[in-house]
Structure formats: C-alpha cells, structure tokens
Amino acid sequence: MAHLLMVESWVGSMSRLLPRALREGGHEFTFLTRDLHHYLRSAPEGTAHPLLAARHVLTAETNDGEALLPFVERAHDVLRFDGVVTSCDYYLRTAAEIAGRLGLPGPTPEAVGNACRKDATRSVLAEAGLPGPRFAVCADWAEATAAAHRIGYPLVLKPVDLCAGMFVRRVDDEAALAEAYRALAAFPVNARGQRREPVVLLEELLEGPEVSVETVSYDGAVHVVGVTDKSLGGAPAFVETGHMFPAALDPADTEGAGETARRALKALGLDGVVAHTEIKLTPDGPRVVEVNPRPAGNRITELVRHVTGVDLAAACVDVALGREPDLHRRATGLTSAAIGFLVPDTDGVLEAVDGAEAVRAADDLLELRLADPGKAVRATGSNNDYLGHVMAGDARGTAARDRVAALLAQLAPRVVTR
C-alpha cells in the first residue's frame, strides 16, 4: 500500500475517478486543499464526496508556493508520502514542484509549466520544428489588433492559462476580436483565486476535424493508448458536445495524430505523465491544439476503459509512484463507446429533463447523468455548464456516437426563464 498526496482536484468526474483508482489499487491518500467546501458543495445532497475518503485532509494556501513547500515538507516528515497527484490543471505545476522537493517521482516543473501555458507550448513546439498555426502573444489591445492584421482573420483568441474552453473564441473581424478581448479582460482571476496572466494568445484558425490522443509517458517512452474524436458546438465558442473512442479515422490519420502527440510530448520534455493532447487534422497534416499533462476530462478516460480495459486514472497513480503502468488491452465486449452532452441554449432555472426514463431503459446505455431540478442554467460558452450526459457503447463497430445521438434526442430540458 502506498500513500499519495493529492493536491487539489477538479470537482467533476476526476474528483471521483482518481479516488476510485487509488482505492482499487490498494492505496490511500491525503488531500491537500485551500478550501474543502469548494468540493463539498459539488456533492449530491445526502452523499459524502469521494475526496472525504482521504486518510487526512490538510488545509493550506495552495496558491502560495513559497509557503506551501515548507508546509508539505513538514507534513511529509510525519505522514510520509510516496507520490504526488492532482487532476486540476491549475495545480499541475505545484504538484510537480512538491514531488521534486520531496524527491518523489514526477515530471519536471518546467515541462509541466510549459504544457499548462498555451503560449509557452506554442513557443516550445515551434522551436522544436513542429508545424503549427501562426500565432502571437499580445499584452494589450494595440498589440492584438496589430497581430490580427498580420496573421489575418479568421483567428482564435485564447487565454494562456484557463481551462475547459473558457473564453476561447473564434473571431472573424475586429469587432468580434474586441468583444472577445473585453470579455476575457473582465475575468482577471480564475475559479481557484489565482490571478491570470493579462495576455492573450491569437492563433490562425486551423480547419479540420479535432481529435485527442490519450497517452502515458513512462521511463522515457510515450505509449499511445488511442485516439478520441470530438464534436464541437456553441460558436463562436468551442464547446465540446461529445466524444467517441476510438475515433473513426483511417489508419494514416490515426498514426499521424499519435506521432504528432509523441513529438509534442518529447519536445516539451514530459515524462511520468498521463496526457491528453488535442490535435486538428488539417489538410496540411496534424497540428497540435494544446497539450494537457493530465488524464482527459469529460469522462474520456471512461470511454477508453469501456473499450480497452485500460484505466488511465490508475495509470496516473502508477506513474506518480514511479511504477510501470498496466496498459494491456483486454476484451470488454465493446468496440466503441461515446458520450454526448446536454448543452443548454438558454438561461434560466432547470425545472426537469423530459424523456429520462425512456433513455434510462435503453439496453446499450452505459451512463445517464442529469442535473438536478433547480440548477441555474446558462447558455454555455465553455465546457462547465452541461445539464448532463449520455454514454453508450457498440459491440460491433464504431456506431456508438450514432446511438448516443439518438438517445440525446429523446431528452428535452425544461428551463424556466426569469
């Protein structure tokens, strides 16, 4: 049995999947957070949050690295940690710094920091010779307008240090650029109380289908577990509306996406990580969208597990302990699995979701999760505002996405506008 330190967490599915992987691996963990109530508020009424299965809960200011490292060293002297994990992008570098300070396995803080900063990722990959979009990092409006003129519309405006597609927008002209720029500037602090870098990243818009490559890097080698496809909506935002694993691609595109992800991870120097690398399959070849040095969100890890038997959350625990992860594929009875999200298109309060009982009775349903009545609903501009999801599988081919679409079509949210 190993004892891991978990530094913060997402409040979504990984806050449940990572504790599950620890428990099923026979391990225990101490949870370190600046605000336990941030997680308790997300637990369904009458249930205990899985993070409360921790052996210990430590409270410290996780946003203050200078004070945090000595605090963790003192805790380590008493509790003895064998590894450090987190699922939350905003604390990936912190976890790497703690692991390095305690002499535990893990990627280097510099590699993680460069992957988590979208502008740094672009610079590192360009220097390594990986083809990518034309881009510019802009410190103010004057720089943004000049860069937009130089690169040419249409563009994508991105914050360099936010997640879940927040404030990522397609801009087709200067008016749209100004609107996106103002919206981002009005969000100076992220959801964890960390002040954002006041710069924006402008990129040439890449055309083509988007996929993600799920990998595990261990002992200097990058292992491609598979490629997941992605559907997007919510223009001019880029809201993920669904995924299927494996992506229905021809072998050349699958291999090209995997090789591009390998090259990106090697260029960034990432090792000892489970990663989720987003790729655009453009007419000129695969191009990196971003590199996330943690397991995929939106329950993609569960799609992978349903099809291959590979548990990427468990692999995350293994590499944090410096152990070789189990990546052997097993027969599961499914050849594809897909998820589709219930995306709100109006603001208000959720009254009910009609059609849920019929969907719940479907033979090939893997998961149905719906928001509770009374939830405040926002017409979504990111991946944070779903009203639920449907997951289904296919035992004979890659029809799981079509099956999910048919099930989603039976669900009708009733939203009361106020």
- C-alpha distances in angstroms, 320 versus 41, 326, 413? 28, 13, 41
**Cα–Cα distances in Å, from 369 out to 119, 249, 389?**
35, 28, 5
Q: pTM of the full predicted structure?
A: 0.94
Laid out side by side, the sheet with 155-159 consists of 135-138, 200-204, 155-159, 169-171
- On average, the pLDDT of the chain sits at 94
The tens digit of pLDDT for each residue in 261-287 reads 999 999 999 999 999 999 999 999 999
For residue 42, pLDDT over 80 is answered with no
Percent of the chain with pLDDT over 70: 99
Task: Say if residue 206's pLDDT is above 90.
Answer: yes
109 within 8 A of 91, measured Cβ to Cβ: no
- What pLDDT shows up at residue 164? 86
Contact predicate 291/114, CB 8 Å: no
Could you report the per-residue pLDDT of 54-73, keeping only the tens digit for each?
A: 999 999 999 999 999 999 99
Give the pLDDT score at 46: 64
- From 43-57, 115-129, 311-325, 395-409, the region with the lowest mean pLDDT: 43-57
**Would you state the pLDDT for residue 323?**
97
What pLDDT is recorded for position 311? 98
Q: What is the pLDDT of residues 350-406, one digit of tens each?
A: 999 999 999 999 989 999 999 889 888 888 677 778 999 999 999 999 999 999 999
Domains along the sequence of the chain with CATH: 3-104 (3.40.50.20), 133-204 (3.30.1490.20), 208-332 (3.30.470.20), 335-418 (3.30.470.20)
